[in-house]
């Protein structure tokens, strides 16, 4: 039987397209794998180096903190993950374009793009749910379909959030059974669960980042306990004075829990943590009626390794209120405060999809309103990627006094294409302008809105960031001018987010006479 | 239906984008290498100081 003219084309053409789609799908998956491997392999090396060093844990914890190790690795992992995400989006565009061309020409019913992906790859990506992409697709769908698709989206989001929560609970159980489980084992567990429940590369990256913070906290707790084995000594090291009454310090996997039977001791821990805040008498009175608190935020402790790792209990208040049930209540309060400590680590895993939904889901909004939300999204990304690292570089440079302040500014703000070594945001601008957020913005408001996005990126990633660094240097110099040594200024500012330096320095300088008096009293004890 | 030129263009774009991704990843790998080296040096100095103290 002869072959009609055109049949060969009908047979060979889909094969060519299949090859293209296969390459694209392989590339997307490979990119996600590579981005994840970069992070996992680095942790394997760190684990080995730490083991082989033979150093006491306290030294290791201090080395991680001083070099900013986990912040820096987290930043690299984040950018690798974003980069893979951008690639996935770009390929999505090409493949959608291809599918649309096929439908338009309509000569032969073309194989659907999804059906062209080879079985082993299809198996891996078939149920993968990318909330941040799905929400954009839904908002692009015809209005009649949106409600139903949004309902399905919410169901999937709830399922994914539940699976993430289950993984988190399992990780916590593993850490409770053996708080010193090697990080690399926990990372492998995240990979397995990720394959089972189709977590995105970014969600797995967030889980790894949470586990690093958790490990750092745990090691900080152990190191503090090694240095101060007696409860009273540890209390004094943290608060700056001896406890007045009975205390008991319980070591938990993610938190050091301090039971205080004298309300003055409970108040002292709280006040020490929030020492730059002036509390009203009403607040102090309310504090004495608390059951417990998790001390989160600025590193105000005398022991920086215990940053975000301390919770305190007002035990006498629990006993007065609950009588015979006080022991049970105490256990509940401890679980509650530890829950805060752990939640705060994992919260980012589900933050981003909700953020995208918030930016775009409101109907009938103006470009100005959406631009404001995009601006605050950009700012939070910048804070995560660059602000903490810039903070650490400013204090390091100004402390060593090798370069003039003006030169420090120039070094920290020089673009990468001019040889700058600290241009972390150069890449981010590119990522942003290629992101789903940027694309959706242009779709909503037209081609000219690209200019608005360019201006927003310029404002947040360049102008504001440069001003932040300039202001940071000025604040450091102002502290030195008012009598702090460079080491003291660095120690103070290293614990405060860069955006808050001005405010923190102002509070500190206003409270300084009181500080001096307190230090004098502490010295006399 | 898409013709050979269209699929060829897409194929080319995919390759370009993937190469771009790999070069970004390579830059990140180098940055990560520097971070790990800096940490390794810090541990080494500490080890030396610690042995001296002993």
Task: Give contacts of A78 with chain B, Cβ < 8 Å.
Answer: none
Q: Quickly count: other Cβ atoms within 10 Å of residue A13's Cβ.
A: 19
Phi-psi region of A308 (alpha: psi -120 to 50; beta: other; left: phi over 0): left
Of A62, A69, A80, the CB nearest to B25: A80
Cβ distance of A87 and B7 shorter than 8 Å: no
Q: Are strands A247-251 and A256-260 parallel, antiparallel or unpaired?
A: antiparallel
Residues of B in contact with A59 (CB under 8 A): 46, 50
Among B21, B31, B43, beta carbon nearest to A53: B43
> Closest Cα of chain B to A132: distance in Å?
20
* Interchain proximity B35–A76, CB inside 8 Å: yes
* Helix A436-445 with A367-382: angle, nearest 10 deg: 170
Alpha helices in A178-292 (DSSP H): 183-197, 201-227, 231-239, 263-273, 281-287
Q: Which residues pair with A247 in a beta bridge?
A: A260
pLDDT of amino acid A235: 94
Going residue by residue through chain A, which has 525 residues, state the pLDDT in tens, using 9 for 90 and above.
Answer: 333 333 334 444 455 666 666 666 667 777 777 888 888 899 999 999 999 999 988 889 889 988 888 878 887 887 888 788 777 767 766 655 555 554 434 333 333 334 445 566 556 665 667 676 566 567 666 778 777 887 888 788 778 777 887 888 788 788 778 878 888 899 999 989 988 887 877 788 888 888 888 888 888 898 899 889 999 999 999 998 999 999 999 988 788 999 999 999 999 998 888 776 667 777 778 788 888 888 876 555 578 888 888 999 999 988 888 888 888 888 888 887 777 777 667 665 555 555 666 666 655 578 888 888 888 888 888 887 788 778 888 988 898 788 899 999 999 998 877 777 788 887 777 778 877 678 778 877 887 888 999 999 999 999 999 999 999 999 999 989 988 888 888 877 877 889 989 988 887 777 665 455 444 444 443
Place of tokens 């390759």: B15
Q: Does A57 touch chain B (CB under 8 A)?
A: no
**Whether A109 contacts chain B with CB within 8 A:** no
Check whether B44 has a pLDDT greater than 80.
yes
Distance from CA of A81 to the nearest CA of B (A): 10
Q: Which residues of B touch A73 (CB under 8 A)?
A: 32, 35
CB-based contact A17 B2, cutoff 8 Å: yes
- Give one word for A109, left, alpha or beta, with left for phi > 0 and alpha for psi -120 to 50: beta
* Inter-chain CB proximity A76 and B38 less than 8 Å: no
- The mean pLDDT value for B12-26 works out to 81
Site from B16, B17, B19, B44 to mutate, A interface, most A CB atoms within 10 angstroms: B17
Q: What separation, in Å, do the N-terminal and C-terminal C-alpha atoms of chain B show?
A: 77
Joined tokens for residue B50: 């610690």
Answer whether A193's CB lies under 8 Å from A282's CB. no
A422–chain B Cβ distance below 8 A for any pair: no
With CB atoms and an 8 Å threshold, state whether B6 touches A101: yes
Please indicate if any CB of chain B lies within 8 Å of the CB of A42: yes
Spell out which chain B residues touch chain A, with contact meaning CB-CB distance below 8 angstroms: 1-4, 6-7, 10-11, 13-15, 17-18, 21, 24-25, 28-29, 31-32, 35-36, 38-40, 42-43, 46-47, 50
CA dihedral A40, A43, A47, A48 (to 10 degrees): 70
Q: Which contacts of A128-133 are long-range, i.e. CB under 8 A and separated by 24 or more positions?
A: A128/A198, A128/A200, A129/A156, A129/A157, A129/A160, A129/A198, A129/A200, A130/A88, A130/A200, A131/A156, A131/A157, A131/A160, A131/A352, A131/A353, A131/A356, A131/A357, A132/A352, A132/A353, A132/A356, A132/A436, A133/A88, A133/A89, A133/A92, A133/A436
Q: State the pLDDT at residue A409.
A: 95
Task: Give which of B13, B24, B26 to mutate to test A binding, by max A Cβ within 10 Å.
Answer: B24
Give the model's pLDDT for residue A161: 74
CB atoms A31 and B40 under 8 Å: no
Tell me which residue of A494, A217, A485 sits closest to A341, measured CA to CA.
A217
Q: By the CB < 8 Å criterion, does A24 face chain B?
A: yes
Q: Measured at the alpha carbon of residue A159, what is the angle toward residues A155 and A162, in degrees to the nearest 5? A: 135
Contact list, A48 vs chain B (CB under 8 Å)? none
Residues A137-148 pLDDT 10s: 676 667 787 778
Per the CB < 8 Å rule, is A69 touching B11? no
How confident is the model at residue A260, as a pLDDT? 95
């Amino acid at each position: 039987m002869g072959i009609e003219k055109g049949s060969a084309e009908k047979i060979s053409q889909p094969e060519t397209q299949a090859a293209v789609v296969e390459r694209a799908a392989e590339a997307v998956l490979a990119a996600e794998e590579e981005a994840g491997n970069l992070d996992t392999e680095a942790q394997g090396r760190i684990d080995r180096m730490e083991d082989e060093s033979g150093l006491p844990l306290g030294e290791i914890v201090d080395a991680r903190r001083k070099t900013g190790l986990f912040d820096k690795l987290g930043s690299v992992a984040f950018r690798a993950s974003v980069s893979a995400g951008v690639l996935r989006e770009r390929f999505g565009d090409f493949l959608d374009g291809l599918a649309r061309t096929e439908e338009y020409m309509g000569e032969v019913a073309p194989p659907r793009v999804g059906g062209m992906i080879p079985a082993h790859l299809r198996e891996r990506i078939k149920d993968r749910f990318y909330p941040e992409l799905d929400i954009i697709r839904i908002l692009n769908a015809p209005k009649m379909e949106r409600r139903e698709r949004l309902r399905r989206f919410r169901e999937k989001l709830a399922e994914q959030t539940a699976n993430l929560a289950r993984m988190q609970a399992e990780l916590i159980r593993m850490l409770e059974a053996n708080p010193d489980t090697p990080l690399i084992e926990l990372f492998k567990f995240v990979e397995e669960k990720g394959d089972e429940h189709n977590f995105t590369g970014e969600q797995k990256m967030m889980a790894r980042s949470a586990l690093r913070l958790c490990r750092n906290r745990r090691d900080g707790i152990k190191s503090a306990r090694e240095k101060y084995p007696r409860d009273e000594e540890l209390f004094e090291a943290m608060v700056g004075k001896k406890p007045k009454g009975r205390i008991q310090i319980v070591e938990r996997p993610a938190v050091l829990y301090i039971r205080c039977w004298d309300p003055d001791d409970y108040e002292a821990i709280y006040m020490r943590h929030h020492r730059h805040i002036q509390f009203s008498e009403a607040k102090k009175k309310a504090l004495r009626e608390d059951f417990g608190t998790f001390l989160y935020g600025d590193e105000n402790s005398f022991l920086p390794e215990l940053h975000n790792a301390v919770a305190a209990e007002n035990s006498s208040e629990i006993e007065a209120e609950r009588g015979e049930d006080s022991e049970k209540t105490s256990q509940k309060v401890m679980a509650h405060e530890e829950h805060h400590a752990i939640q705060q680590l994992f919260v980012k895993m589900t933050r981003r999809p909700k953020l995208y939904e918030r930016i775009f889901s409101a109907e009938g909004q103006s470009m100005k309103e959406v631009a404001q939300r995009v601006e605050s999204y950009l700012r939070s990304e910048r804070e995560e990627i660059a602000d903490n690292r810039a903070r650490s570089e400013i204090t390091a440079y100004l402390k060593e006094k090798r370069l003039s302040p003006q030169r420090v500014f120039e070094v920290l703000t020089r673009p990468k294409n001019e040889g700058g070594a600290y241009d972390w945001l150069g890449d981010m601008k590119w990522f942003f302008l290629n992101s789903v957020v940027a694309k959706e913005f242009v779709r909503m408001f037209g081609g000219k809105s690209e200019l608005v996005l360019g201006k927003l990126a310029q404002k947040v990633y360049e102008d504001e960031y440069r001003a932040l660094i300039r202001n940071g240097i000025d604040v450091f110099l102002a502290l030195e001018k008012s009598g702090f040594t460079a080491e003291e200024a660095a120690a103070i500012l290293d614990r405060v987010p860069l955006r808050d330096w001005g405010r923190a320095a102002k509070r500190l300088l206003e409270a300084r006479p009181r500080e001096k008096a307190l230090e004098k009293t502490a010295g006399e004890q | 239906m898409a013709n050979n030129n269209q699929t060829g263009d897409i194929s080319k774009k995919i390759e370009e984008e993937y190469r771009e991704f790999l070069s970004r990843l390579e830059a990140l790998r180098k940055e990560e290498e520097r971070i790990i080296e800096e940490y390794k040096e810090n541990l080494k100095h500490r080890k030396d100081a610690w042995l001296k103290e002993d």
